[in-house]
A and B are shown apart, each in its own frame.
Chain A
Amino acid sequence: MAIDDERLMAYADGALAPEDAAEVERMIAADAGLAAKVAAFSDSRALVKQALGVAPPVPDRLAATIRAMAEADARRQAPGGTAQVIDLASRRRTVPFWQLPIAASVALAVGILGGWIGKPESGGAGGLSVALIEEGALVDALASVTSGERREIGSGVGFTGIASFRDGSGQLCREFEHDRAQGDTVVAVACHAEAGWSVRFAVATAAADDAAYVPASSLDTLDAWLTANEAGAPLSDDEEAAALAALK
């Protein structure tokens, strides 16, 4: 009977049930090639652990930043603590390098917070028309474009799914960017409640010349919002697919 590499590896790692392991042992005893392979699995693991097992020291500045976060967290956790207050100072961090080339600042905090999408009374002008997106198309995109995917949802208008997560109240939220061929990129978060999707956060950013990504200051604003709303970790692709399917 053939034995696959995964099973030999699991044997080498001691991850097989005793009866499985005994069977593998019998096969190894009869085949020097298999025994050599088990040794290769064991040796490679030991070698990798030896080579990378000692983690390099954490830079002092990073460690200090995170200790400050822990202190701020302790104040929030404390009885009578300021649970709803974001300690902005402790959150402020150095601008990640990948955002450095863009000096643009937040051009406009768009006044569409809380505007319901797709509800007639919200009106075309008051809702997402600020962002020049046709609402039906946006609702469709929120329900179907997966994170990491970009789709044209109007003439020259793009929708890029960034991430899906649940906020502190358990609502499904989607972070996305939309962009136009000329003009601003808007980074936004929409959450789904019983009444439908509503845009909970949006910042427009001055358009970059050649790269459709968003300047640092906007992302700091977004980070602050995410923290204030107790945003959970991004859903995996599978979780996102299941969450979106559940809305249908």
Chain B
Amino acid sequence: MRDSFSDELIALLPNLRRFALSLCRRGDLADDLVQITAERAFAARDRFDPTTRLDAWLFRILRNAWIDHARRTTTQGVTVDIVDAPDAAVVDGVRDMEAVLTLRKAEAAIAALPEDQREVMMLVCVDELSYREAAEVIGVPIGTVMSRLARARLAVAAKMGIK
């Protein structure tokens, strides 16, 4: 029988994969990162503090796996070109094409952010972690999270013509 830890982890797989995609931008690598994260999470589940958010704990494991990968492959040269963009906007026919275009533009603006800004954007604005939780995932002071996030949001707002 599975327990709530497993059930919650499985329920969070889409979120984990989305975060992985935002880090590495490749579907195949994102899948690997999610799998490594799950392996490490099950192996270390006794160390999860159930009074905290499971997603934040898993994001941290995933991010570390990504850093490990990046370290191993520094000599290879990184090939980042295919954006496996989440298919966020599901449309019925041509209903509200303009809204779809706006969202595509927003995706592009987010994709264009520096990696350190993009990850805080994902953690706070998409996965709705608090500034402090995001700081713990990344391992930086809360002030750093806030300044990266503010810059990221102003940059996206500027690209979208929000004044």
Contacts and interface: CB of A to CB of B under 8 A. Distances in A.
Nearest to B106: A51
B95 interface: no
Contact of B106 (A50, A73, A238): A50
Contacts, number: 196
Contacts of A163: 64, 68
A152 interface: no
A213 B156 contact: no
Nearest to A74: B2
A62 B147 contact: no
Interface in B103-128: 103-104, 106-107, 110, 121-122, 124-126
A199 to B, nearest CB: 20
A15 B124 CA distance: 12
Contacts of B38: 65-66, 69
B42 A234 contact: no
Interface in A26-83: 36-37, 39-41, 43-45, 47-59, 61-63, 65-67, 69-74, 77-78
Contact of B10 (A67, A98, A230): A67
A73 B3 CA distance: 10
Contact of B86 (A39, A43, A55): A55
A45 B3 contact: no
B25 interface: no
Nearest to A70: B6
Contact of A97 (B13, B17, B32, B84): B32
A213 B125 contact: no
Contact of B153 (A45, A97, A232): A45
Contact of A213 (B76, B149, B160): B76
Given A50-B103, A56-B17, A69-B38, A147 B71 contact: yes
B40 A233 contact: yes
A93 interface: yes
A70 B10 contact: yes
B6 A74 contact: yes
A213 B10 contact: no
B10 to A, nearest CB: 6
B154 to A, nearest CB: 6
A230 B36 CA distance: 14
A173 to B, nearest CB: 13
Interface size bracket, B side: 35 or more
7 contacts: A41-B154, A44-B154, A47-B162, A50-B106, A66-B34, A91-B39, A234-B65
Nearest to B108: A51
Interface residues of A, number: 68
Contacts of A44: 125, 153-154, 156-157, 160, 162
B28 interface: yes
Interface of B: 1-3, 6, 9-10, 13-15, 17-18, 21-22, 27-29, 31-32, 34-35, 38-40, 42-45, 47, 60-61, 64-65, 67-69, 71-73, 75-76, 84, 86-90, 102-104, 106-107, 110, 121-122, 124-126, 130-131, 139, 143, 146-147, 149-151, 153-154, 156-157, 160, 162-163
Given A70-B42, A234-B68, A96 B29 contact: yes
A71 B2 contact: yes
Contact of B110 (A10, A48, A71, A162): A48
A41 B158 CA distance: 11
A72 B2 CA distance: 9
A121 interface: no
Contacts of A5: 147, 150-151, 154
Contacts of B76: 98, 211, 213
A9 B150 contact: yes
A91 B60 CA distance: 21
